[in-house]
Structure 1
Amino acid sequence: MPLSDEQLHTLAIVGRCASVLSILGVATIIGTFISSRHFRNPIHRIIFINAFYNLFDFTATMISISGPEAGNGTALCQFQGFLLQMFPLADVLWTLAMACDVFLAVFYHYDAEALRKLEMKYIGVITTLVFTPAITFLFIHTPERGHMYGSQTLWCSISPKWVLFRIIFYYGPIWFIIVVVMILYCLVGMEIVKLRHKFKLTSNDHITQASITSANNVSFDHPNNAVTMTVEANVQSQPVHIAESHGRKESVSALLSKSSTNQISTSHLHPSNSITLDHRPPKQVSFREYVFMPLMFFIALLATWLAPTINRISAFINPGHESYPLLLAVGAMGSLRGFWNGVVFITIGVKGRRWRTKLRKRTGTS
């Protein structure tokens, strides 16, 4: 049976209230990033850029059922359909960009400057990928199927009469990207677990960019001298060794006896290269901000897309059937993503700032 006017009114209230909370979350992200220099690492910057894309997303969900009520051929419905085709997909792609940054930082030792250089590429690729189909669909119309953007009860998006396009250009890419992000985080997780087991890290474990150089000043960043992730190890409680390419182990405990906590890295070294410690302070990368924060964003994203996907599958199996509880879940979760993003951004960011403050006090760095 079709939904009653009271049910539609409730759906509109739920969706708009969630949208307001999301807009406040986005505003919090933008305001915090601008006002505090402590929230400006590469992951924070990606979240900040994505916040502007989210504003358009939640503008569309604020329109809510007013789009379908206006009619499929109206400017309001077509505008809402364009926004909901472009910006939710962009949000998923920005989550992929965060996962790529984490992967590059862990496996290829990209520092903040190297990651920052990727931002314009991310903007160009993501905007092109989502804008091209979204603007194209505005001009697709046939007498049999009508406009491609049409009523979906809660809002206007790709019409059920164009369901194949909705699978190919919307849900298909979204879940493909989600799977890719899951794979990247699994690889990062396995690498971190392997290093944690190998070096028996302390509870304050973090990723540190390489700070060891050879005696002849050959940088280990050279392709022929690949460096694995540098980690923090407590030399008082565990012996630490550096393994050379021929399997020989040379203890470095004597070199590190003056400090209770030191930065060590395993490297594939040429036999002629002796090892010395560079006294420059290593570049610290907070585990919470470079790994945990984007992972939490991904979990929020995953929760966001479960209800809409189940709703689409249900509509595909039972055409014409509308589940009111499921639509409530879609309206709430689909419009509340910005709020959770703001909560994660502030909570993890503040904890990361406290961690850096403790680290500076412990190491005596500024």
Structure 2
Amino acid sequence: MGLSEQQMWAISATERVCSTVSLIGTFVIVTTFIWSTSFRKPINRLVFYASWGNIMANVAAIIAQDGIHIGVDSALCQFQGFLIQWFMPADALWTFAMACNVYLTFFHKYNSEQLRQLEWKYVLFCYGIPFIPAFAYFFVKTQARGRIYGSAILWCWIAIPWDFLRIALFYGPVWFVISLTFAIYLRAGSVIYQKRRQLRNLGGIDPFDTDLVPSISPFATLAGIQVTREIACYIPEQRSPSSGGPRGLPSASFKPYSVTIQAGSSGDAPLGLEHSSRPTTCPLQKDGHARTGRADLDSVSQPRSIATEASSAAWAYTKYAMLFFIALLVTWVPSTINRAYSLAHPDSVSFGLNFVGAFVLPLQGFWNSLIYVSISWPAFKLLWQDIRTQAVNRTITEFLIINNPLRILSTCPKEATLHYNFLLLGIIQLSQSPTMTESEPNTQQLPAASPSPPPPAPIPQTPGPRASRLHQVFDQALARTLRANSYANFASCFPTPARHVPASLESVWRQLNAKLEESAKAEFEEIIAEREVVPHLNELDRLVGEARVRREQEEENGHSERTVPHTLGAEDLYKAHLTPYLQEAQSTLNDRLEVTHVENAQLAQTVQSQRQEIEQLLAHLGSVVSDIEGAASAATQFSKEHHLRRDAVQMDEEVNAHEGL
């Protein structure tokens, strides 16, 4: 029993909707992976490679049953079957490749560089093996069964007469790979559980005791799992002697603010989670440095046990493993049941099983995008913060260049205003300097005589006084900002690297400041060029210079009346305002005149051709008239007595007489 037309339409619509959702998720994966390096972890790289196979499989699913309607021998149907056979099982192979990375990381201590060297092999394995049968099916055809690619109800794929190939070369290998993937996760999970029990047995040891932990060294047997902890303290402000309070610092408990659990060597990608809490105050010695001895920690609360941290790492691993495995089961269990049902009941078609298969199979890319987002959620938050920061910084910089700096403090966010406080103060000082506060002229007075010619204007590309001052203020503000980010402040944020690897941390600090300075200058120059700030400031310098020269000449000549900024009368100003409109009207009139000239030229050519035709007709008519006149003159030359005429008349009479007889 087949499916009705309405049921087939529902299956096709489901395939296309689910494929569209999957394509959106795949677009998120590809875009973020290419956009930011924060997403390029080893597991995300494999998801990125698998996304291209998901895209091709979704393209085939969007075709739906159109290939069947056109004809099973059509190019569209054959192409759809080829895409499904090639790219649909590739997703399971990529999941197996991810499991292989987990195995190599846990049991063979592979780092990220070694895993990256295996990626080209994964590409050949995941896309090369399914390509072989998919391409070979094009050349197989028998008289009894026909082509391999044909109608499979949902879409064009392996035809029903070749149904055994679906199990032998599609579902069978897929479930074999799923079994291997599950075995790898099960083995790694058992190891994680064993190490978690070992760490739980060590939960009574104080992890802050630097004398006991290294001697026991429990992490030497944890298959490359490294647990690190950091304590952060801040120094509260001391009270002044006049406050009447004690000068000592209050005691507080230590709380760990950062825990990172990693697998493998230092080059491996983080496997665990990061826990954070606010840093609290800590007792200080006379020299201002924090005491880290065990005697100072007797009165503090017990820290989080190492077993809890290992449990967090185990949960992180288990969560991602379960996500991949659940995605595989959700994708392949319903479709496998449908194929098994079709083998057991070849004459019956289940609408429910086919509908569920059409729903879950196109969603491979969607499940991968969910896992990708869950793994890379911190990177997504950082990317969003970077986008917002860049937008805010660019807006503030444009306001500083274009608008009145006195309004910036009321329009910018608080954190952005604090970031640009030095630049704002410099711009305000520049706007209030004597060179920028010329007295406004009285425009109601009559125009005075034109002064001597003003000095030549500066070259627009060369920064003038105000443009140079603007660059100077920006450089000073940027220098203050960089000095505020001193090495001492930077090192206070990372106390552990500052104690153990100060040279490396200082190198990172220098690179960070250099990058910050470079990006700030590049963005500033880009805005300067985009808004044409230098030419406008140079024009302002020229106008101010002309006004200053006129004022000095008035003071020297002892004129009581002030000179207006121009020497034009009311009529000239009126004409100047009308000039743009008159130029526009003149341009329109010129266009119309040009069109009229073209039309007149065409009309003149037409008249000339018609005139030549009339002359030809008149010449022909003259020749006809001359012929008629010649014939008339010839006719008048013959009289009735002419013998030829007389003979002709007699002959006519004789002929008539004979006809009468």
Equivalent-residue separation in structure 1 for 2:318 and 2:110 (angstroms): 14
Percent identity of paired positions between Structure 1 and Structure 2: 35
Alpha-carbon shift at residue 124 of structure 1 (Å): 1.7
Equivalent-residue separation in structure 1 for 2:258 and 2:33 (angstroms): 32
Could you say which residue in structure 2 is the equivalent of 1:39? 39
Q: Which SS does the other structure have where 1:200 is aligned?
A: helix
Specify whether residues 173 and 66 from structure 1 end up closer, same or farther in structure 2 by C-alpha distance, changes over 3 A only. Answer: same
Matches within 5 A, 1:122-271: 122-200=122-200, 228-232=223-227
Matches within 5 A, 1:98-117: 98-117=98-117
Equivalent-residue separation in structure 1 for 2:40 and 2:83 (angstroms): 28
TM-score by length of 1: 0.75
Q: 1:349 aligns with which of 348, 353, 376?
A: 376
Could you give the per-residue CA deviations for residues 259-314 of structure 1, whole angstroms, max 9, x where no partner exists?
9999999xxxxxxxxxxxxxx97755224787643541232122100111000111
Q: Does 2:303 align with 1:303?
A: no
Equivalent-residue separation in structure 1 for 2:122 and 2:26 (angstroms): 20
Matches within 5 A, 1:30-109: 30-109=30-109
Work out whether residues 19 and 58 of structure 1, in 8 Å CA contact, stay in contact via their aligned partners in 2: yes
Equivalent-residue separation in structure 2 for 1:264 and 1:346 (angstroms): 21
Specify whether residues 353 and 110 from structure 1 end up closer, same or farther in structure 2 by C-alpha distance, changes over 3 A only. Answer: farther
Could you give the per-residue CA deviations for residues 40-97 of structure 1, whole angstroms, max 9, x where no partner exists?
1110000001111111111000011112222221111110110110101111111110
Equivalent-residue separation in structure 2 for 1:88 and 1:362 (angstroms): 50
Specify whether residues 201 and 300 from structure 1 end up closer, same or farther in structure 2 by C-alpha distance, changes over 3 A only. Answer: farther
Report the residue type matching 1:309 in the other structure: T
Alpha-carbon shift at residue 173 of structure 1 (Å): 0.3
Alpha-carbon shift at residue 226 of structure 1 (Å): 9.7
Q: Which SS does the other structure have where 2:150 is aligned?
A: strand
Work out whether residues 201 and 234 of structure 1, in 8 Å CA contact, stay in contact via their aligned partners in 2: no
Equivalent-residue separation in structure 1 for 2:261 and 2:59 (angstroms): 49
Equivalent-residue separation in structure 1 for 2:72 and 2:139 (angstroms): 13
Could you say which residue in structure 1 is the equivalent of 2:349? 322
Work out whether residues 91 and 364 of structure 2, in 8 Å CA contact, stay in contact via their aligned partners in 1: no
Cα-Cα RMSD: 3.4
Work out whether residues 232 and 261 of structure 1, in 8 Å CA contact, stay in contact via their aligned partners in 2: no
Work out whether residues 230 and 496 of structure 2, in 8 Å CA contact, stay in contact via their aligned partners in 1: no
Work out whether residues 342 and 348 of structure 2, in 8 Å CA contact, stay in contact via their aligned partners in 1: yes
Q: 2:358 aligns with which of 321, 324, 331?
A: 331
Work out whether residues 72 and 151 of structure 1, in 8 Å CA contact, stay in contact via their aligned partners in 2: yes
Work out whether residues 87 and 127 of structure 2, in 8 Å CA contact, stay in contact via their aligned partners in 1: no
Equivalent-residue separation in structure 2 for 1:63 and 1:362 (angstroms): 58
Could you give the per-residue CA deviations for residues 194-250 of structure 1, whole angstroms, max 9, x where no partner exists?
111111399xxxxxxxxxxxxxxxxxxxxxx998322327799xxxxxxxxxxxxxx
Work out whether residues 57 and 83 of structure 2, in 8 Å CA contact, stay in contact via their aligned partners in 1: yes
Specify whether residues 148 and 234 from structure 1 end up closer, same or farther in structure 2 by C-alpha distance, changes over 3 A only. Answer: same
Specify whether residues 349 and 264 from structure 1 end up closer, same or farther in structure 2 by C-alpha distance, changes over 3 A only. Answer: closer
Work out whether residues 30 and 48 of structure 1, in 8 Å CA contact, stay in contact via their aligned partners in 2: yes
Structure number with the higher strand fraction is 1
Could you say which residue in structure 2 is the equivalent of 1:9? 9
Specify whether residues 227 and 188 from structure 1 end up closer, same or farther in structure 2 by C-alpha distance, changes over 3 A only. Answer: closer
Report the residue type matching 2:43 in the other structure: I
Q: Which SS does the other structure have where 1:336 is aligned?
A: helix
Specify whether residues 260 and 84 from structure 1 end up closer, same or farther in structure 2 by C-alpha distance, changes over 3 A only. Answer: closer
Equivalent-residue separation in structure 2 for 1:309 and 1:103 (angstroms): 27
Q: Which SS does the other structure have where 2:376 is aligned?
A: helix
Could you give the per-residue CA deviations for residues 111-160 of structure 1, whole angstroms, max 9, x where no partner exists?
11010000011112222211111000011111100110111111011112
Report the residue type matching 2:367 in the other structure: W
Equivalent-residue separation in structure 2 for 1:39 and 1:347 (angstroms): 12
Equivalent-residue separation in structure 2 for 1:121 and 1:281 (angstroms): 24
Specify whether residues 170 and 24 from structure 1 end up closer, same or farther in structure 2 by C-alpha distance, changes over 3 A only. Answer: same
Equivalent-residue separation in structure 2 for 1:31 and 1:180 (angstroms): 31
Q: Which runs of 5+ in 1 are unaligned?
A: 203-224, 237-258, 266-279
Report the residue type matching 1:312 in the other structure: R
Q: Does 2:280 align with 1:285?
A: no
Specify whether residues 125 and 156 from structure 1 end up closer, same or farther in structure 2 by C-alpha distance, changes over 3 A only. Answer: same
Alpha-carbon shift at residue 175 of structure 1 (Å): 0.5
Equivalent-residue separation in structure 1 for 2:2 and 2:343 (angstroms): 16
Alpha-carbon shift at residue 37 of structure 1 (Å): 1.6
Alpha-carbon shift at residue 327 of structure 1 (Å): 1.2
Could you give the per-residue CA deviations for residues 23-42 of structure 1, whole angstroms, max 9, x where no partner exists?
11111100111112211111
Equivalent-residue separation in structure 2 for 1:85 and 1:282 (angstroms): 38
Work out whether residues 307 and 326 of structure 1, in 8 Å CA contact, stay in contact via their aligned partners in 2: yes
Q: Which runs of 5+ in 2 are unaligned?
A: 203-219, 232-255, 274-315, 383-492, 498-504, 509-661
Specify whether residues 184 and 50 from structure 1 end up closer, same or farther in structure 2 by C-alpha distance, changes over 3 A only. Answer: same
Specify whether residues 152 and 124 from structure 1 end up closer, same or farther in structure 2 by C-alpha distance, changes over 3 A only. Answer: same
Specify whether residues 229 and 82 from structure 1 end up closer, same or farther in structure 2 by C-alpha distance, changes over 3 A only. Answer: same
Equivalent-residue separation in structure 1 for 2:155 and 2:331 (angstroms): 16
Report the residue type matching 1:330 in the other structure: G
Specify whether residues 233 and 165 from structure 1 end up closer, same or farther in structure 2 by C-alpha distance, changes over 3 A only. Answer: same
Q: Which SS does the other structure have where 1:320 is aligned?
A: coil
Could you say which residue in structure 2 is the equivalent of 1:21? 21
Specify whether residues 155 and 260 from structure 1 end up closer, same or farther in structure 2 by C-alpha distance, changes over 3 A only. Answer: closer
Work out whether residues 95 and 294 of structure 1, in 8 Å CA contact, stay in contact via their aligned partners in 2: no
TM-score by length of 2: 0.43
Q: Which SS does the other structure have where 2:89 is aligned?
A: helix
Alpha-carbon shift at residue 347 of structure 1 (Å): 2.2
Report the residue type matching 1:232 in the other structure: V
Report the residue type matching 1:116 in the other structure: R
Equivalent-residue separation in structure 2 for 1:76 and 1:133 (angstroms): 19
